[in-house]
Amino acid sequence: MIELKKSKSFAGPEGPVVLVIMDGVGIGKNPESDFVKQAKTPNLTWLHENALYTELRAHGVAVGLPDDGDMGNSEVGHNAIGCGRVFEQGAALVGKAIASGAMYADGSVWQELVSNVNDRSSTLHFIGLFSDGNVHSNLNHLESMLRKAKEQGVKKARVHALIDGRDVPPTSALDYVERFDAFLKEINADGTVDYCVASGGGRMNITMDRYDANWDMVKRGWATHVKAEGRTFASMKEAVETFRVENPGILDQDLPAFLIERDGAPVGPIVDGDSVIFFNFRGDRSLEITKAFEADELKEFDRGPKPDVLYAGMMQYDGDLGVPARYLVTPPAIDRTMSEYLSNAGVKQLAISETQKYGHMTYFFNGNNSGKFPTETWKEILSDVCPFEDAPRMKADEITDVVVQAIESGEYKFIRLNFPNGDMVGHTGVVSAVKLAVEAVDENVGRIMDALKKANGIMVCTADHGNADDMCELDKKTGALVLDEQGRNKPKTAHSLNPVPGIVYDPSGAANARLADVPEAGIASLAATCITLLGFEPPEDYAASIVEVG
């Protein structure tokens, strides 16, 4: 059994250590684009000036992504925070598996899927996020797989495109459509294959729900991709342009579902005998559509007859559940998480968020595993099913109610929570709502501070990545605002490349904590930080704590 050693310099606080993850609340580079800075945040301002405060890296190689041009995301961020080390993540693993050819090796799931369609003269389908955002997917991976499919004799392939606009600019869809149309023209040019787009829609409209928040999204996706039910167009470009005319100002992520037809009929329903690849590598928004394809019985919606297909995910999305049954690339083997160490030490733990980030505080925090450790209690506050800009406070108040009660009870020594506001409202691009969202987080951080004063506990306050801190497009060279033809700011809904705060608040001063010298520290250092503040010695291979105690 893996065990922690007791610290020789500090026995831990009288009250709990509380880890507050302010999702999407980073440190902006331009005040005009930084709606964390523009919001009223008296508590965060006080902490900046009076508590231990540093900046932490939350993107790129610091969280296991291929390079520092890759924005962080909630999945890899919570992995890094929870396991205290940096593992190569989905984008890097898939890229290497494709480049090396390992994904296509003899006996692989890929070969099983290809052999199925070649033997049956059936169709190979690809469903996934249609961008190069590198958070859930990468269009380069799709194009590589289609080239390999042609090389291996697959005659017919269909793509079901989930339009992005969250991990990439909010109205950039046609950039990817035009690129992919050119790719299809080239790959189809010799007349030996028939590869085309079959269906699609905005990622926040169809298919990519998570945490059982809104199964109607999956139902709409199923009707679109599998049943080929819905509005038809001659091309994906025509669909996007038509929806924009009909709904001025609509963001890509919200585009309605569409079908592509040829000769008066949809080109790509998914039918018995086909093979299907869901090419997203990130797990949270992949599990529900995977369940729709794999479950013998499905209670969440009436899917009709389940087609007899071979289905695979790009990666395994849940190691505990073994989902999906087939996957192309093995995910990182994350072990020895902070939760496991603390459980073995007998530390009672509470993990809490609302539905939108509940899985991040549990599944992702515990290394992509859905099972809890013996001393853990998990608490989910149900999220509202409505546009996030309409209710920017989300469930911050309700989360804090439970946390304050837990602090006062003395039952838990370690409490971890996620306020989703800065990220979920940040993705909407509605900056007036973003300010309210950040202010709600600040207010509730203050409530937690007050409770910890009375309980003689310690707060570690941080974020998993930035978002609300970077709400307008900035010139990459100058950092100045990029304006459109009307002189208006161009909205940005993706995560940022900015650092995030690393704050330690110890109102009693019992830890005698001081900042440690950790050059270019990343959020992976937060696990060792919490373990140190709880009165233990962190594992030797964990990223170094940002504080020293005693």
> Tens digit of pLDDT for each residue in 297-336?
999 999 999 999 999 999 988 765 778 999 999 888 899 9
- Looking at the chain, the domain(s) classified CATH 3.40.720.10 span 18-89+333-548
Instruction: Give me the catalytic one of 7, 74, 131, 199.
Output: 74
Residue 483 · residue 33 · CB < 8 Å: no
Q: Are strands 232-233 and 414-419 parallel, antiparallel or unpaired?
A: unpaired
Confirm whether residue 59 is marked as ligand binding.
no
Confirm whether residue 284 is marked as ligand binding.
yes
pLDDT at residue 491, rounded to an integer: 87
Residue 73 · residue 134 · CB < 8 Å: no
Helix (H) and strand (E) counts for the chain? 15, 20
Band of pLDDT at residue 213, cut at 50, 70 and 90: confident
Confirm whether residue 203 is marked as ligand binding.
yes
Query: What is the Cα–Cα distance from 276 to 73, expressed in whole angstroms?
Result: 26
Confirm whether residue 283 is marked as ligand binding.
yes
Confirm whether residue 34 is marked as ligand binding.
no
pLDDT at residue 320, rounded to an integer: 58
Residue 442 · residue 434 · CB < 8 Å: no
Query: In 16-56, which ranges are E strands?
Result: 17-22, 52-56
Confirm whether residue 136 is marked as ligand binding.
yes
pLDDT tens per residue across span 487-525: 888 888 888 999 999 999 999 999 999 999 999 999 999
> Residues 6 or more apart from 248 whose CB is under 8 A from it?
none
pLDDT tens per residue across span 182-194: 999 999 999 999 9
Sole residue written with tokens 């041009």: 69
* Active-site annotation holds for 74: yes
What average pLDDT is seen over the chain? 95
pLDDT at residue 102, rounded to an integer: 95
Residue 344 · residue 4 · CB < 8 Å: yes
- Looking at the chain, the domain(s) classified CATH 3.40.1450.10 span 91-329
For the domain covering 91-329, report its CATH number: 3.40.1450.10
pLDDT tens per residue across span 357-367: 999 999 999 99
Nearest to 209 by CA among 147, 277, 288: 288
Task: For residues 116-145, give the mean pLDDT.
Answer: 96
Confirm whether residue 495 is marked as ligand binding.
yes
- Domain 18-89+333-548, CATH among 3.20.20.140, 3.40.50.2300, 3.40.720.10, 3.30.70.330: 3.40.720.10
Nearest to 159 by CA among 319, 278, 31: 278
